[in-house]
Structure 1
């Protein structure tokens, strides 16, 4: 087993295709097929399930994929530490939609200027999706809100977001959850920590929301609130850049529920040279 085999194996897993992986690693497909077979023989397990000329990663292959990614990352980091080469390669990042819109554009622009050899990609989504993607290796790191409890993750603080309640322009003041007991809400899907925070605000005041309508974007949420159909909780900084924000009433929540910390998270065992370069731009923790 060598790093070339591991790189081939990772490419096949990530592309789902021998031919596509062969193009990525600049080999002929037959060479990849032979090297993967040799790797399986050495390990004594099937890394793929082969059905009608299609490949699916086996349970053993899924486990081995995680270790292979970590070994390749460590090898790359070791090489960088002694050669001083400029980081290069892929850096797949994730982010909350609001953080991507208001907090990190300038940071990512500086990163691209300083490290042009790094291919940085950005995926947005709810916090649950971001954390899962970091844990399973699809993302190198993600900007999401904390606190979260997972011993496999490290994090570097980015900022604190002030959360506010928004209501239709005709809505009376909202001082506590009991005043809007049973109100309809607009939020992201259930694995969004902002939604969980909003629901917990109700529960802490012995109140319950009514119907929760799941939306795909902050702009969609704002449009529904403007239309008079319900309430939402949103970062104040995000609301400030959105057209139509002047059409809603904005109410702060009590101090215990007012702030959400946002941070960059990554796996403790996956600190690559590309990610280290990004952390250097973020500054000390």
Structure 2
């Protein structure tokens, strides 16, 4: 087992094809096949189910993939540690969907223009999911929402840098009456992202102040566009960052009420260092200051 074989294994696992993995790695397909078989022989298990040209991970392959990703991430981290000040290699960034849509396009474009040799991967998810993935070495860093209260919910194995704050708005259908508090909210349904979303937790906590006998229903959705469509249709309320709503001027007729202001944190594993991460942090911080 060597790092080159792990890189080949990862490419086949990600593409599901020897041919596509070979093209991505600039190798001959026969070389990729030989590497995979040698790795399987070394481990004594089949890592892939072969169905014609399609390669699907076995249960053992799924387990091994987690370890392979961590080993490859540690190798990249080691290279960065001995080459301080030279951003290079692969940087795996996670972000909440709202942050990816409203906060990252411009700074990531500037980052790529400044450091084109850095391969930046972007994944989205809830704050809880992203923090778990950073801790498990699946991501190098992530942008998450700070839970209400200083330091609440941050794993001791992680460290964080505050970058900016998001104003959270309760968004209600057009024509909704004045909202002075949670008991004034008409729809009894909250459109929200899946559990693990900090903004959803804030919304649920705020809406707990409603009168007894009015249970809160929830519609779990995968995007803010779907959430806002439910609000526009008059069937639900939602809690949305102001920066996300600003991207949709056509929804300016919806009723909005500020309910919270939460910091957005750039997190990484405690002790993790890389020049690419430091360069990204500087670009994100500069973008916020310029705004």
- Which TM-score tier does this pair reach, normalised by the shorter chain? 0.7 to 0.9
Please give the per-residue CA displacement for 1:216-250, whole angstroms capped at 9, x wherever unaligned.
54344445434543322222333334313431332
Is structure 2 residue 245 aligned with structure 1 residue 239?
yes
Match of 2:166 in 1: 161
User: Within 2, Cα distance between the matches of 1:17 and 1:124?
Assistant: 25
Match of 1:262 in 2: 264
Match of 1:46 in 2: 45
User: Within 2, Cα distance between the matches of 1:110 and 1:52?
Assistant: 43
User: Is there any run of 5+ residues in structure 2 with no aligned partner, and where?
Assistant: 148-152, 287-291
The alpha-carbon deviation at position 116 of structure 1 amounts to 1.4
**Matched residue SS, 1:159:** strand
Q: 1:226 to 1:8 in 2, by over 3 A?
A: closer
The alpha-carbon deviation at position 94 of structure 1 amounts to 3.3
Q: 1:211 to 1:118 in 2, by over 3 A?
A: same
Equivalent residue pairs, number? 279
Q: 1:79 to 1:239 in 2, by over 3 A?
A: closer
The alpha-carbon deviation at position 190 of structure 1 amounts to 4.2
Moved more, 6-15 or 48-57: 48-57
Aligned pairs for 1:106-117 within 5 A: 106-117=106-117
Equivalent of residue 274 in structure 1, options 265, 273, 276: 276
TM-score (norm 1): 0.77
**Are the counterparts in 2 of residues 112 and 118 from structure 1 also a CA contact under 8 Å?**
yes
Equivalent of residue 188 in structure 1, options 175, 190, 193: 193
**Are the counterparts in 1 of residues 81 and 274 from structure 2 also a CA contact under 8 Å?**
no
Equivalent of residue 218 in structure 1, options 224, 229, 234: 224
Moved more, 86-95 or 107-116: 86-95
What root-mean-square deviation, in Å, do the aligned CA atoms of Structure 1 and Structure 2 show? 3.5
The alpha-carbon deviation at position 72 of structure 1 amounts to 2.6
The alpha-carbon deviation at position 131 of structure 1 amounts to 4.8
Q: 1:228 to 1:16 in 2, by over 3 A?
A: closer
**Are the counterparts in 1 of residues 176 and 186 from structure 2 also a CA contact under 8 Å?**
no
TM-score (norm 2): 0.76
Match of 2:150 in 1: none
